[in-house]
Structures are given as structure tokens and as C-alpha cells.
């Protein structure tokens, strides 16, 4: 086997062990979905100096990973090893080439060692339901960090110097015990998901500008304020989905001071920030007052779609007529809504399902032409 480069045992349900390997040329080892495999230590306990890819996915009986000496490793994937509890001594033997590390769905994993891997670009710990804490990180090249569905995670890992300058994707969705996030520097961030972090009460302090972010998701959080330090943020044309059924909308605007999408689902008010570049707003499950709504609409004169489902205001103010480009207005399940005083000149679609509008208001709406109503 001295010249063997690829060794794959995939979906071998009766395979319980693999003899020690000592191949200087082996570049890929794949033992995925071997349901009976129990002994990981004998598999790579030797020196595999050229190994680039190690995949042990869905091996539900493996509990521990031994120390590994893999200086050329580029990808380590232990996803869905549902009995894996620890790999505390694994990282010592990694070199400076490791780019991807995934422990997705390792539901029994309780801790990971400090990671100082300058080459790592993707770290996936999603679905590690028993992971309580994460040791300090120094990941200067990291682009993707997924901590979603880590239900017991109480604190965000400390980032050395707070620098994640190359990070583009940060997902903390469904970290229901997470209480705080330290100050971070996220110059390259494009996707930030904090949805369903019920214990998170404050938005993290951001060092520097976030120039590229097109999407921020805060569905069902306890965040009371959005102290965005965003200035002069720009973004390219992007297609972004909406959580309330909206499909996609292109635009070339920027965020906040030039924000193109605002998607918030919470029981708190949204701080209005004036912007002529906003094209799409989605504010769900908020306790917006009539006065607040009236003032807010004046700040977004160029908005094209306005989704205000499940809110508690009683009147759509006449100031909405100043939204000259608004063509779609969603008011579904606004059960306190009684009257719509103004109709934007370009409105083509209005949905007010489960709203108790007055008869006079309904008549006025039905007399409008070229509008699709859902009442």
C-alpha cells in the first residue's frame, strides 16, 4: 500500500475496526457511515504525513478521537458522530494547511480545545447540542463560523484581539442560552443570523465598519436596541429571501445609513434611521405605536415593499402616501388595525388578512383601481 493515495470505506455497516495505517502517500481517508465502527485510535495513530482529507461522517459509535499528527491535513469532517464526546488532544498535530473543520451534529460533544489555526477558513459546530462553552479562538483566516442549534451554549467564544476580519458568514441561530457576545471586528461579514437567541439582550459591540453585510436576521430575540455603528456601508446587487413569504428582491443599496433590508421579529421597537436607499422593510411581531409608525414612514421615502405583519398599531397613517414607490403592503394579522388613511400612488398589492377594518375603510380600498386586495 506504499503508493495508495485514496482509501474509502463508505457505508460499510458491519465494519468494526480498521488496522493501523502507515502510508506516506495516502491523501484521502474516508470512513463515513460505518455504523459499527468503534475504534478510531488504530485508524490514524501512525504518521500520515501527506493526508489532506479525513472524513469520518455519521459513525455513531465513536466516542473519542486520539492525538493526530497530520501536518498536511486540509479538511477534517466528523459530522454526525453522535457519540463523540471529546477531541481535546487532536489539534496539536495539525499543521498550517487545515482549512475546514466540521463537527456538525455531534450532539454529545461538550467542549473543544483552544483553536489557534491561522489557515482555518470554515468551522462548523452547528447542532452540537451539549456544547456549553468554546475555548478562545485565534482564527485569522476564518470565513465561515456556524454555531447554530447549540442549545446549551452560554457564551460566545473569546476571539483573540476581537479580530475576525475575513469572516463572511456568522450563524448563531437557536442558541437559546447565549447571553452575550463580546466586541468583534467584522469588516467582511455578509450574513449575520442571531434569530431565536431568546436570552440575548444586547447587540454586540462592533469594532470598525461592516461594509459588505446585506442580511441581518434577528427573529425572536430580546434585543431592545440596535446600536449599529454602520457608516458608509455599501453592497452589490443581491437577491435576499424574506422570512414572511417574500421571495426575493434585487437592489444596489447599502445597509442602515444605506440599508436595503431590515428584517426584525421581536416585541420591541425598531430605532428609526433615515435612509433614502431602503427598498425593503420587514418588521414583524412588534409593538409599534401609531405615532411611531407615522414618523418612521417619513424616513424611508423610497421603500418599495413594506411587510408589517403581526403588529399592534391601529391606523396606517396618511404619511404612507409619501412612499411614492411602495407597490406592496402586507398587514396580515394586525388584529388591532381599524383604518388605512392613506394609499401610496404606486400601490399594486395590499394584504390585510385577519384585520378588522371599518366598513368605510374597506369601501375606500375597494374603489381603488389596479390594486390586488386580500382582506
User: Counting every residue, how long is the chain?
Assistant: 375
Going by their DSSP bridges, the two strands 238-239 and 250-251 should be labelled as antiparallel
Cβ-count burial 345-359 (b if 16+ within 10 Å, e if not): eebeebbbeebebee
- The predicted pLDDT at position 45 comes to 44
C-alpha dist (Å) from residue 182 to 118, 155, 158, 174, 247: 21, 9, 7, 18, 34
Supply the pLDDT for residue 372. Answer: 58
pLDDT attached to residue 82? 94
Residue range 250-375, CATH number? 3.80.10.10
pLDDT at site 319: 87
Enumerate residue ranges in the chain where pLDDT < 70. 41-47, 88-92, 161-162, 208-216, 223-278, 286-287, 368-375
For residue 269, give the nearest of 303, 218, 320, 319 by alpha carbon: 218
Position 250 scores a pLDDT of: 29
Sign of torsion over alpha carbons 281, 201, 140, 26: negative
Contact 142, 117 (CB under 8 A): no
CB 81 within 8 A of CB 58: yes
- Residues with Cβ within 8 Å of 245's Cβ and at least 6 positions away in sequence, in order, are none
Alpha carbon distance 88, 245 (integer Å): 43
Phi then psi dihedrals of residue 125, to 5 deg: -115, 20
Give the per-residue pLDDT at 57. Answer: 95
Minimal CA–CA distance to 365: which of 336, 342, 332, 346?
342
Which helix H or strand E contains 8, and what residues bound it?
strand 6-8
CA distance 224 to 280: 22
Amino acid at each position: 500500500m506504499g503508493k495508495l493515495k485514496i482509501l474509502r470505506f463508505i457505508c460499510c455497516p458491519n465494519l468494526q475496526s480498521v488496522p493501523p495505517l502507515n502510508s506516506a502517500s495516502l491523501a484521502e481517508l474516508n470512513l463515513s457511515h460505518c455504523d459499527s465502527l468503534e475504534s478510531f485510535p488504530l485508524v490514524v495513530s501512525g504518521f500520515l504525513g501527506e493526508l489532506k482529507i479525513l472524513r469520518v461522517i455519521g459513525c455513531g459509535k465513536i466516542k473519542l478521537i486520539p492525538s493526530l499528527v497530520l501536518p498536511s491535513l486540509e479538511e477534517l469532517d466528523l459530522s454526525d458522530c453522535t457519540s463523540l464526546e471529546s477531541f481535546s488532544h487532536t489539534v496539536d498535530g495539525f499543521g498550517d494547511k487545515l482549512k475546514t473543520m466540521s463537527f456538525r451534529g455531534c450532539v454529545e460533544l461538550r467542549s473543544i480545545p483552544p483553536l489557534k489555526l491561522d489557515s482555518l477558513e470554515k468551522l462548523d459546530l452547528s447542532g452540537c447540542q451539549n456544547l456549553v462553552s468554546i475555548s478562545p479562538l485565534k482564527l485569522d483566516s476564518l470565513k465561515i463560523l456556524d454555531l447554530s442549534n447549540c442549545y446549551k451554549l452560554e457564551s460566545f467564544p473569546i476571539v483573540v484581539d476581537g479580530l475576525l476580519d475575513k469572516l463572511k458568514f456568522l450563524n448563531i441561530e437557536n442558541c437559546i442560552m447565549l447571553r452575550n457576545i463580546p466586541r468583534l471586528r467584522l469588516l467582511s461579514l455578509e450574513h449575520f443570523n442571531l434569530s431565536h437567541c431568546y436570552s440575548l439582550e444586547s447587540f454586540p459591540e462592533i469594532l470598525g465598519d461592516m461594509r459588505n453585510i446585506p442580511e441581518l436576521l434577528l427573529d425572536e430575540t430580546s434585543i431592545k436596541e440596535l446600536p449599529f455603528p454602520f457608516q458608509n456601508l455599501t453592497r452589490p446587487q443581491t437577491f435576499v429571501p424574506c422570512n414572511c413569504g417574500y421571495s426575493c428582491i434585487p437592489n444596489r443599496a447599502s445597509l442602515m445609513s444605506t440599508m436595503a433590508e431590515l428584517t426584525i421579529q421581536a416585541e420591541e421597537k425598531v430605532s428609526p434611521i433615515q435612509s433614502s436607499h431602503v427598498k425593503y422593510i420587514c418588521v414583524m411581531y412588534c409593538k409599534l405605536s401609531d405615532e411611531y409608525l407615522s414618523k418612521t414612514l417619513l424616513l424611508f421615502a423610497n421603500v418599495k415593499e413594506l411587510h408589517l405583519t403581526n403588529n399592534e398599531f391601529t391606523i396606517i397613517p396618511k404619511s404612507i402616501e409619501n412612499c411614492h414607490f411602495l407597490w406592496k403592503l402586507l398587514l396580515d394579522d394586525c388584529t388591532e388595525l381599524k383604518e388605512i388613511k392613506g394609499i401610496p400612488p404606486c400601490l399594486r398589492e395590499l394584504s390585510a388578512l385577519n384585520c378588522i377594518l371599518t366598513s368605510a375603510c374597506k369601501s375606500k380600498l375597494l374603489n381603488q383601481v389596479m390594486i390586488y386586495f386580500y382582506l
